[in-house]
A = this chain, B = another copy of it.
């Protein structure tokens, strides 16, 4: 059977089932980052890889500086989603030998700009020929204090769901120069007990079901409350993907205080309550949507 039509989530589940997990693994495949260390450690290590592919994640004519920025920022968004702090990155590029040297240098300029902005060290990588499309993969390490590490799986029925920023319409350009929500996530995990968190890369309609499923609960979305981007629609906010905003779940008793403090701390960035987690016995799931590599 072809990958097209198989479904990304089903595929990932099947691939991960038989993996050799190894030692000192707090969280293996399936969350935004792998979490490594001993249960007793004060600080855990984060590990993430992510890639962008020409013709899939960016157009062939796209400015290569923005492509470099995007590649690194995507991995940073996953570090943010764990409440972590990024440390080091390794870069893997496969590029046609017919490409101009300036193309590769522009990619590195974008990578470097993003690395400097967020205090990441680029400590190596690999450059290979590609027979065609440009392929850019990032491996990222980070750390998170044990008590601040937020997984996808800790959501509880009754939790309120929040998203940062605005959703939808990223294809108009924001997907190439978005700002990963590191600062915001670190502030949230330092000051509040978030039950679950992830970053929105495939759209709320695809990502929220993943968070709910990992937490073993159902969910409700209040579509009329969605913080839709200018010129976009509710379906677009649910499905476009590449928002790279945070989605998190918090107990109702913490919700009001968190919102007030947020408005003082980040007055320019909206924080919106978009729904709640509920028990699986009363599932009122929104229709699944969002980006699926193998839909």
Contacts and interface: CB of A to CB of B under 8 A. Distances in A.
Interface of A: 1-4, 6, 8, 11-12, 14-15, 18-25, 28-31, 33-34, 36, 47-51, 53-57, 87-88, 90-92, 94-101, 104-105, 108, 112, 115-116, 119-133, 135, 137, 139, 141, 293-294
29 contacts: A2-B99, A3-B97, A3-B99, A12-B127, A15-B104, A15-B108, A15-B127, A19-B122, A21-B122, A23-B87, A23-B121, A25-B88, A29-B125, A33-B124, A34-B124, A49-B49, A49-B90, A49-B124, A49-B126, A49-B139, A50-B92, A51-B92, A55-B131, A56-B129, A56-B130, A128-B293, A129-B294, A139-B139, A141-B141
A101 B135 CA distance: 21
Contacts of A28: 121-124
Interface centre among A1, A49, A95, A131 (most CB of B within 10 A): A49
Given A50-B92, A135-B135, A123 B15 contact: no
A176 B145 CA distance: 41
Nearest to A27: B123
Contacts of A6: 101
A20 B122 contact: yes
A294 B20 CA distance: 36
Contacts of A33: 124
- Oligomeric state, in number of copies? 2
A293 B47 contact: no
Nearest to A17: B108
Max chain B Cβ within 10 angstroms of own Cβ: one of A1, A50, A105, A129:
A129
A28 to B, nearest CB: 5
Nearest to A14: B105
B126 A50 contact: yes
B22 A119 contact: yes
B90 A121 contact: no
A56 B100 CA distance: 19
The 8 closest A-B pairs by CB, nearest first: A22-B121, A139-B139, A34-B123, A4-B97, A29-B124, A55-B131, A49-B90, A137-B137
